Amino acid sequence: MGEIDLALTIACDWLGNVVGPDGCWPSQRVPVLADESPGPAIEERTPFVAAVGLLALEGISRPDSPGLAMLIDRSRGFLVRTMRSPGIWAYLDGFVPDSDDTACASMALSGAHPWIAFGRNRGLGLAARVPDGRFRTWMAGPRADLDIDAVVNANMIAWLGEHADCRGAADFVIAACSGPASAALIFYDHPVDLAQAVARAVRRGAEVLRSALPGISRIATEVLEDAAATPFRLAQALEVADSLDTVPFALRDQAVARLVREVMEHGRSRSDTIYLGITPPAPPGCRYHSDALATALTLAALARACGRGDGI
């Protein structure tokens, strides 16, 4: 337990130092060059990474660290400052508002802003559906048939909850979890991205997705058994496994030990691809990374390991 506690302290300190005074979480856009090698990283300031970072820290209930509590407060402030009326978000200034940013930021803010607390944005969320009931990614524009992603749909269900108009989206997500999940992903790169989003939705009360739990348990287990899995993917898989409480403790403990070594060696947890920049049907033009998000996921996984709670 001593090593986990030390890794937690290191990760908390690093995260507190790297998240900006204004609450912006650092992330990078990495172009994919013609030969598929990575180009030079470009720093970005997006509310999305702050939102999913805050959702990752939900794994720590009532954090004891004053520094972490202050980080959460200033991150929420960043989300409020980047919000558009009546409670919607775009990935960057000048972009069209999108479902993923809006769902994740709404969940991260929760009741911390009256527009969100009173559901002023929910109508726009429900309007972002195509005729079969699935949610599109961009809330405006002509690309409704090309930008439908299962992770985005799971995040929308997590936000909107047990709503009758979410049934088509739920069927889409459940089918993706029971089949080759990658076929239902556009902006995300790995099936565990979907598993993580579904686990979050069920934790938040989306019973409509409960039948997807065996599928996401399988996805998480495959990652945890993979000796080559990156720290980012391990932390995602641990979030799923700890939510379900169906994966053996021994397998989870091995992953936790790998995350402890990652933090002790590098002072943080290194990122994998958190999502893709893509205009279908073309291949991805860039990949996005955030060591801050990877470290938040790792921090939460280590905190849960210190006191594992009940699953869903």
pLDDT tens column, 43-60: 999 999 999 999 999 867
Q: Which 3 state secondary structure label does DSSP give 310?
A: coil
Cα(277)–Cα(285) distance, rounded to whole angstroms? 6
Cα(99)–Cα(132) distance, rounded to whole angstroms? 17
Phi and psi angles of residue 157, each rounded to the nearest 5 degrees, phi first: -65, -40
**Residue 88 region, left (φ>0) first, then alpha (ψ -120 to 50), else beta?**
beta
**pLDDT tens by residue, 208-248:** 999 999 999 999 999 999 999 999 999 999 999 999 988 89
Q: What is the pTM of this model?
A: 0.94
Convert 272-300 to b/e letters by CB count within 10 Å (16 or more is b). Answer: bbbbbebeeeeebebbbbbbbbbbbbbbb
Could you tell me if 25 and 269 are in contact, meaning their C-beta atoms sit under 8 angstroms apart? no
Q: What is the largest CA-CA distance in the chain?
A: 54
Could you tell me if 135 and 101 are in contact, meaning their C-beta atoms sit under 8 angstroms apart? no
Give the pLDDT confidence score for residue 310 in this predicted structure: 44
- Please report, as a single letter, which amino acid is at residue 288: Y
Could you tell me if 263 and 176 are in contact, meaning their C-beta atoms sit under 8 angstroms apart? no
Cα(198)–Cα(178) distance, rounded to whole angstroms? 12
Cα(164)–Cα(183) distance, rounded to whole angstroms? 25
Indicate the pLDDT class of residue 311, thresholds 50, 70 and 90.
Answer: very low
Q: Which 3 state secondary structure label does DSSP give 147?
A: coil
